[in-house]
Structure 1
Amino acid sequence: MVRHAVVEELAGLGATVHTCARTESVLDECLQQWKMKGFKVTGSVCDVTSETERQKLMSTVSSQFDGKLNILVNNVGTINFQKTTDVTSEDISLYLNTNFVSAYHLCQLAHPLLKNSGAGNIVFMSSVAGVVSVSVSLLEHLKEH
């Protein structure tokens, strides 16, 4: 997963990293692996589609890093494997909340911490599908893996 690669690259360069995942068991497994590699990584369970959980995540980050943050990596997204005619208004709400609203709000919440660091950076990870056409067969392949 890209998220794992980002965490490992930053931690491998000596950064102290705080990450999140929706599922506690997935998070715990990753944290254990990173600890065995000697990385300084902590984590929180967080569904970024929830405003309350985003606020709690950034409060944890603020506490952990003494009110400062050097890098915010927005690397969350969901993909649509449906025909356009089958997409519901609930689906659209989920896609927008996951792919746009969460990243925007996390930037707002992180702004004071980034400003306090004196050298804050925001990195947005995105799908290549936003730039080039991706075939349905490729999407189905990605879904399986």
Structure 2
Amino acid sequence: MTEGKINSRDERWSLKGKTALVTGGTKGIGHAIVEELAGFGAIVHTCSRNQTELDQRLDEWKTKGFQVTGSVCDVSHRDQREKLIETAASLFQGKLNILVNNVGTGILKNATEFTAEDVSKLMATNFESAYHLSQLAHPLLKASGNGSIVFNSSISSVMAFPSCALYASTKGAINQLTRNLACEWAKDNIRANTVAPGFTNTPLLDAFTFLLSV
């Protein structure tokens, strides 16, 4: 590479000055996403249902020199989603470059055993929250001139696994939402993409493994 050209990974992939909102960023995949974005220079806001856990992570990120703020939010509740976007809009002066819809949960049961409460919980947490937050964030993403939405789906959205019918269905819905938003919001310079991880060593996987073993 000739002198004067970009020759380092950090410079090629710099997110300096970019803003990002990551849901559920205090553990698991969300935690890794926050650290990756902040490590490349992005200014990140994240959320957690647990104030103590959130404060611990914020202290850790501060010692690393990351620009990360956080607020308590349970994204399964509509009013708390609205408050989260209001907070992000205030922090980022009405503009948002990156929205990562990371939060997700699972309930493992045979398909005949899911209750109405199970359906409501998983749909609210895994699908409705991502859809609504994307709706609310649309003006901020559009205002940035170069918005990006990343949805955290799952390999179970395209493959069948035991006891995962409901969880997999919510993730399949995420896949289709991504396709539609990518088409509909391209005119607003907003990209939409889905990441579909396989089994990942996180607290959620630990819970799944336990339930499958009993």
Higher helix proportion, which one?
1
1:123 corresponding residue in structure 2: 150
Q: How does 1:78-93 map to 2 (within 5 A)?
A: 78-93=105-120
**Aligned partner letter, 2:144:** S
Mapped partners of 2:61, 2:35: distance in 1: 8
1:106 corresponding residue in structure 2: 133
TM-score (norm 2): 0.63
For residues 44 and 92 of structure 1, do their structure 2 counterparts lie closer, same or farther at Cα, with a shift above 3 Å needed? same
Mapped partners of 2:30, 2:71: distance in 1: 14
- Residues 60-110 of structure 1, C-alpha deviations (whole Å, 9 max, x = no match): 000000000000000011112222222110110111111111000000000
2:95 corresponding residue in structure 1: 68
Matching residue within 82, 96, 104 for 2:123: 96
SS of the aligned residue for 1:20 comes to strand
Mapped partners of 1:94, 1:44: distance in 2: 22
SS of the aligned residue for 2:65 comes to coil
SS of the aligned residue for 2:160 comes to coil
Unaligned runs of at least 5 residues, structure 2: 1-27, 164-198
SS of the aligned residue for 1:44 comes to strand
For residues 101 and 72 of structure 1, do their structure 2 counterparts lie closer, same or farther at Cα, with a shift above 3 Å needed? same
SS of the aligned residue for 1:106 comes to helix
Unaligned runs of at least 5 residues, structure 1: none
Mapped partners of 1:63, 1:12: distance in 2: 23
1:59 corresponding residue in structure 2: 86
TM-score (norm 1): 0.92
Bigger Cα Rg: 2
Higher relative contact order (CA 8 A, sep 6+): 1
Mapped partners of 1:3, 1:41: distance in 2: 13
Matching residue within 24, 27, 34 for 1:7: 34
- Residues 38-80 of structure 1, C-alpha deviations (whole Å, 9 max, x = no match): 1000001000011100000000000000000000000011112
**Aligned partner letter, 1:54:** R
Q: CA deviation at 1:135?
A: 4.8
Aligned Cα RMSD in Å?
1.8
